[in-house]
A and B are shown apart, each in its own frame.
Chain A
Amino acid sequence: MSCISVLGLSKTYFITNKKPGLRGAISNFIRKEVIPVKAVDDISFEINPGEIVGFIGPNGAGKTTTLKMLCGLIHPSSGELRVSGYRPQLRKPAFLNQITLVMGQKQQLIWDLPPLDSFRVNAAVYGIPEAEASRRITELSSMLDLNDELTRPVRKLSLGQRMKAELLASLLHRPKVLFLDEPSLGLDVNAQARVREFLIEYNRIYKATILLTSHYMGDITSLCKRVLVIDKGKLFHDGSLDQLTNRFSPFRSVKIKFSEVYPRSLFTKLGTVEHHDQSILKLKIKRTQLSSSLSYLLQNFDIIDLEIKDPPIEQLIRDLFNNNR
């Protein structure tokens, strides 16, 4: 049985459209022009318990709206939703005890107090006995590599330390379903890596289901076997990253090192020459022509080294969204 089930989910916002200047202000005062904006448009997917799924798309694609619908913060305009068997929009306490939403741009920690105070409040809110709360705080803080920071006011913490403390606060009740909206936003490379390691560990220990949005493809590639790609509210890919690459990138990059120098003209019929410098050649070859091109190269040239790569995922996603616009 799936942990998250989404069927024909849509959300339309009604937004006031105001023209600039005095005339716009007056006409807006007299008669507001309200326009419907479809943030999410008839999307369907299922996520199994324990899966880590990446949810990617450009800004304004509908990722956060979908996450907010999944955790019950906003009501869908149409469609069916089930998370751990509950209808999220009812926000039943039993459901709220099983989920968490971490938003990289928003914080729940009390700004002027140490994180420990916020943890105590959360423990009480979720009915966690004091001794158990202390045990969980110790366990999670060691997983997150948080020590002295727990007794310093939140405002004095670095962005990375704050994010880790936010994660701890959000996971104290041991949710089974995690909705993470840009959890590594603004973090440096080390902090990003620590957060990723922590999420993998949490998923392994507690068999938690994780749905994650991130603009850092490193988060997606290192955490998610499966990705959902959304743009303009529509879901247009649900599958592995490999499938995404196969489907949307018809080319592969081939880097060859020859034992001697060959003229560039010999390779132009094989594909697009991206780089040719002395004995190094970089070619972009169509997937369908890859084996024939490679056998031609191996038979006719003296090759020292050969490397075949998919284009970088960042490049693929960028091309994908640009072509879709």
Chain B
Amino acid sequence: MLLFNFRRKARRFILTSKSLLVSQYSLMIEYRVEIILWALSGVLPLIMLSLWLGSSAASVFGYNNEQLTRYFLSVFVVRQFTAVWVMVSFEEDTIEGRISPYLLQPITPFWRYYYSHIAEQISRIPIVLFLLIVFFACFPSSFWFPSLVNIALFLVIMYISFTIRFLLHWTFAMLSFSFERASSLERLLMIPYLFLSGLLAPIDSFPYLIQKIVMFTPYPYLLSFPAKFLAGQEVNFLRNIYILILWLTIFLITGILAWKRGVREYSSMGA
């Protein structure tokens, strides 16, 4: 009986997920021009690559041009598929009252936002592939192709990283239940992300002590770890996976607690 119930619930969840994903993907196709612009706006890693290639600083921490290129190109790919805007959309929905009907449905609104991000990532695939082809056509020497096993592992790592970042932002998005403009915190969250995730510079370029401190934060696991893995650079795979799962657990708990607290507050203040 227990197994039957579990299977029934799992089947319902899969069907709901499929419907949400399909409808959100249809929506993203409606916004195709915006998606192209968003994808193009994520070229910061390529700008950083050109800056690093123009200086000799990279050689100090042991990166040659090929490693730098692969690293920043991988950062570009990871960045494209881990973009999170849940704070903005959740705040909008709360202010405009769209969250109320969601709260009256027997599924947590979390999944609507989560699948809307996944749908947006799927719609970015052709754009990112096109940009990569153009890049490799211009710089054929930088081309590399990871093994299929590594690509599969990379996808798993990247989606865990994305989920951690999503949950981190989701936790803060819950402040929309208490404050009118909680999304302004997103800019605050962006600062450590810019500097500590490896987006502007590889973590290896940081002073040793800073590197040690940075590794205690979730940021290197959101970008640097999946990017280095994709670039074929040396990473302590198992250790990093354990830490990813640890951060995932932590943010899952904070996300759930923040959601419960937020809904309680929303319900007592007047939805």
The residues of A with any CB-CB pair to B shorter than 8 Å are 11, 13-14, 39, 65, 68, 71-75, 89, 91, 93, 96-97, 99-101, 103, 105-108, 110, 112-113, 117-118, 120-127, 153
Nearest-neighbour CB distance to chain A for B66, whole angstroms, equals 44
B256 contacts partner chain A, Cβ-Cβ < 8 Å:
no
Whether B104 lies near A72 (C-beta < 8 A) is: yes
The majority secondary structure among interface residues of chain A is: mixed
Contacts of B105 in A (CB 8 A): 96, 122, 125-126
Q: How far is the CA of A89 from the CA of B104 in the complex (A)?
A: 11
Nearest-neighbour CB distance to chain B for A191, whole angstroms, equals 21
Whether A13 lies near B18 (C-beta < 8 A) is: no
Whether B98 lies near A106 (C-beta < 8 A) is: yes
Closest 7 CB pairs of A and B: A124-B19, A93-B106, A108-B101, A73-B271, A124-B16, A96-B106, A75-B267
Whether B106 lies near A97 (C-beta < 8 A) is: yes
Within 8 A of A (CB), among B23-66: 23, 26-27, 30-31
Whether B100 lies near A113 (C-beta < 8 A) is: no
Contacts of B102 in A (CB 8 A): 108
Whether A73 lies near B103 (C-beta < 8 A) is: yes
Contacts of B122 in A (CB 8 A): none
Given that A101-B104, A125-B107 are contacting pairs, would A89 and B19 also be in contact in the complex, using a CB cutoff of 8 Å? no
Whether B104 lies near A110 (C-beta < 8 A) is: no
Within 8 A of A (CB), among B194-223: none
Q: Contact check: which of A13, A97, A121, A127 meets B270 at CB < 8 Å?
A: A13
B20 contacts partner chain A, Cβ-Cβ < 8 Å:
yes
Q: How far is the CA of A65 from the CA of B270 in the complex (A)?
A: 8
Whether A106 lies near B97 (C-beta < 8 A) is: yes
Q: How far is the CA of A101 from the CA of B103 in the complex (A)?
A: 11
Whether B23 lies near A13 (C-beta < 8 A) is: no
Nearest-neighbour CB distance to chain A for B69, whole angstroms, equals 39
Q: How far is the CA of A97 from the CA of B107 in the complex (A)?
A: 11
Nearest-neighbour CB distance to chain B for A84, whole angstroms, equals 14
Chain B residue nearest to A73 in the complex (CB): B271
Whether A74 lies near B26 (C-beta < 8 A) is: no
Beta-carbon contacts of B98-131 to A below 8 Å, as 1s and 0s?
Answer: 1011111111000000000000000000000000
* 12 A-B contact pairs sorted by A residue (CB < 8 Å): A11-B270, A73-B267, A73-B271, A74-B268, A101-B100, A106-B100, A112-B30, A113-B26, A118-B23, A125-B16, A126-B105, A127-B15
Whether B267 lies near A89 (C-beta < 8 A) is: yes
Chain A residue nearest to B102 in the complex (CB): A108
Q: How far is the CA of A195 from the CA of B251 in the complex (A)?
A: 46
Given that A96-B106, A106-B97, A126-B105 are contacting pairs, would A121 and B267 also be in contact in the complex, using a CB cutoff of 8 Å? no
Q: How far is the CA of A91 from the CA of B15 in the complex (A)?
A: 22
Contacts of B268 in A (CB 8 A): 74-75
Chain B residue nearest to A153 in the complex (CB): B30
Whether B27 lies near A112 (C-beta < 8 A) is: yes
Q: How far is the CA of A65 from the CA of B18 in the complex (A)?
A: 35
Whether B101 lies near A113 (C-beta < 8 A) is: no
Q: Contact check: which of B12, B23, B97, B106 meets A121 at CB < 8 Å?
A: B23
Contacts of B15 in A (CB 8 A): 124, 127
Contacts of A93 in B (CB 8 A): 106
Whether A110 lies near B27 (C-beta < 8 A) is: yes
Nearest-neighbour CB distance to chain A for B11, whole angstroms, equals 9
Q: How far is the CA of A71 from the CA of B97 in the complex (A)?
A: 15
Contacts of B107 in A (CB 8 A): 125
Chain A residue nearest to B107 in the complex (CB): A125
Q: Contact check: which of B18, B31, B271 meets A68 at CB < 8 Å?
A: B271
Whether B267 lies near A117 (C-beta < 8 A) is: no
Contacts of B26 in A (CB 8 A): 113, 117
Whether A108 lies near B20 (C-beta < 8 A) is: no
Nearest-neighbour CB distance to chain B for A90, whole angstroms, equals 11
Given that A65-B270, A124-B18 are contacting pairs, would A73 and B100 also be in contact in the complex, using a CB cutoff of 8 Å? yes
Chain B residue nearest to A122 in the complex (CB): B105
Contacts of A112 in B (CB 8 A): 27, 30-31
Contacts of A14 in B (CB 8 A): 269
B151 contacts partner chain A, Cβ-Cβ < 8 Å:
no
Chain B residue nearest to A111 in the complex (CB): B27
Whether A120 lies near B101 (C-beta < 8 A) is: no
Q: How far is the CA of A26 from the CA of B107 in the complex (A)?
A: 42
Q: How far is the CA of A65 from the CA of B269 in the complex (A)?
A: 11
Nearest-neighbour CB distance to chain B for A137, whole angstroms, equals 14
